[in-house]
A and B are shown apart, each in its own frame.
Chain A
């Protein structure tokens, strides 16, 4: 392998690798904008210019590959390439490029959403000049251009790195964007009659190194330095993309994909991100409710266990097969374990089945048609998964009681199926519904248990590839809503049964007993990118990146 030297570091690098990749791998900081590990290399921004010994002028580190010199011609007798990232020439080149990039930049950082996570800001501090030498009016360009339903484009701020264009060509394969005009008027443009409306369009906002592309949903919501972030898992399909949840003052403001080569690469679909918008319409339930007649009676959690046990005692005849237990693929493994324990203790039966809700089609990149994140987890826990989109009325009809967790069979169904579910539930003696919102199904229930949303609790889900990942608490539930495993502990102890601690670690220990892939692992093993718990995972088509 060629031996090269970057600054003072001697590195053996594979032939044909680029200087930038080698440098990044060895912790040498070279500034760059247009390079992205999951996209093709174009050498567009010129920010990564470095001095290479023997070359007549600085070369772009992202597109210069490493080769071998014949034995007699080695530099200083042993190196195949000597690179300097901090020499006078390199510094001057970086400073010059940055001056050009900032020449017509509007410097409207105070209103720019990217401020605080902007590469232009960061490199200006590190490499740039403090003042501009431009004596003339800056070239102005349109601001606030709507190029798609979720993306707003500010032409002035753009540095023409073409990451977004390459994303649309290579990753989403929709090709909406291109460069138009020439010279200082060069701009990223959208083809006439097109819109940036592919299912991954907001990824262009993520990879935009400056504030040219901003997300319509997050636009002006909050300055990024106020955000509190946790690493979590998207729960909108069985892919389970690794995400970072950014929240401020109890509100989830955006989801940003985390680079996870096993699952999603650096990408994420728009549907998953828009969960922040869908959360807004939910009728959040505050505290546990028991219904008698038409009157809902609210309870404090500490009284609720006893109240629930008392309510159950009113129906001693309801055992085993008179119960319909509908779990959901939205439950975490720990909540499923809680549901199993509750079923065994109170209904004298195993936990019921998990419906497989699906719509749309699997696409080439990330989106899966199974819309429940933890179906594989249910299978691993030994809970049967129903046929895809099988009507739930079949499960409920003829039963005397039902426990429905995180599913809304009434609200999700239409027409005859909806009527059938409603009749089935109305004729039951006891319906217990637990969900994070007060759904249409909850209106027909006798007992309603408010559950924490996935962004408000810890839990482990297993995606269709068999990767177990952990969600985290991004916000404290605005009202006291709890994960079902805590409710299960409460319920079991109130009736005198043994139960694990009402915490995530307590129930996770119980999960580890029944999921073989998790045996002998600790919670830390699930961080940050998850743990493969399936022996023979399915084949996947994601283009893997190595860190953006």
Chain B
């Protein structure tokens, strides 16, 4: 591609006008209104669909919806998910005997939610996960299920995804 560059006068080519213009601009910003949000006293209103920490959802039968297909483990870019599959008496046959997400590794990309064929994993709007011990950041299945939504869902809504949107 051919770029046409503007012809500069001698004075402009010393760059002083541009520099002075820039300095005027930055100086004027000193007196503008501040945009900083004073976290944690002030908080942001999360937009719908905000991707926070991933959690596991409970199905209408009261069991976790996850069938341990491990697609989320496969797609997870930082490999934060660890699943050990097991066999269950339920109709779904396969269930996660263990399901750990290392929140210290999780990058909240939402691929797991997108790839899940049974809508069992979902990114909720929680983002304050700091801890003094890294091992506390490995959330096991019970913790993830407790954080996720449970039935009854709103009338006519089987999928928790749409709830509250």
Query: Which residues on A are within 8 Å of B, measured CB to CB?
Result: 109-111, 143-144, 219-223, 225-226
Contact = CB atoms under 8 A, between A and B. Distances in A.
Contacts of B94: 111, 220
Nearest to B85: A220
A152 to B, nearest CB: 9
Residue among B71, B86, B93 with most chain A CB within 10 A = B93
A146 B19 CA distance: 81
A109 B67 CA distance: 11
B67 A110 contact: yes
B86 A110 contact: no
Nearest to A115: B69
A226 B93 contact: no
A220 B85 CA distance: 6
Contacts of A222: 70, 85
Given A110-B71, A220-B68, 5 more contacts: A111-B68, A111-B94, A220-B86, A220-B87, A220-B94
B63 to A, nearest CB: 14
Interface of B: 67-71, 74, 85-87, 92-94, 117-118
Contacts of A109: 69
Nearest to A221: B85
14 contacts: A109-B69, A110-B71, A110-B117, A111-B67, A111-B68, A111-B92, A144-B93, A220-B85, A220-B87, A220-B94, A221-B85, A223-B70, A223-B74, A226-B74
A144 B91 CA distance: 10
A169 to B, nearest CB: 30
A146 to B, nearest CB: 12
Nearest to B117: A110
A223 B93 CA distance: 15
Contact of B74 (A111, A221, A225): A225
Nearest to B116: A110
Contacts of B86: 220
Contacts of B85: 220-222
A226 B75 CA distance: 12
Contacts of B74: 223, 225-226
A425 B56 CA distance: 58
Contacts of A221: 85
Contacts of B68: 111, 220
A109 B115 CA distance: 13
A221 B83 CA distance: 10
Contacts of B118: 110
A221 B94 CA distance: 10
A478 to B, nearest CB: 18
A143 B70 contact: no
B69 A223 contact: yes
A200 to B, nearest CB: 25
B74 to A, nearest CB: 7
Nearest to B91: A143
B68 to A, nearest CB: 7
A111 B93 CA distance: 8
B118 to A, nearest CB: 7
A143 B86 CA distance: 16
A109 B117 CA distance: 10
A111 B117 CA distance: 10
A107 to B, nearest CB: 10
A144 B93 CA distance: 8
A262 B74 CA distance: 38
Contacts of B92: 111
Contacts of B71: 110
Nearest to A220: B85
Contact of A226 (B67, B69, B70, B117): B70
Contacts of B117: 110
A222 B85 CA distance: 8
A521 B107 CA distance: 52
A219 B87 contact: yes
Residue among B67, B68, B70, B118 with most chain A CB within 10 A = B70
A143 B67 contact: no
A141 to B, nearest CB: 14
Nearest to A113: B94
A43 B93 CA distance: 33
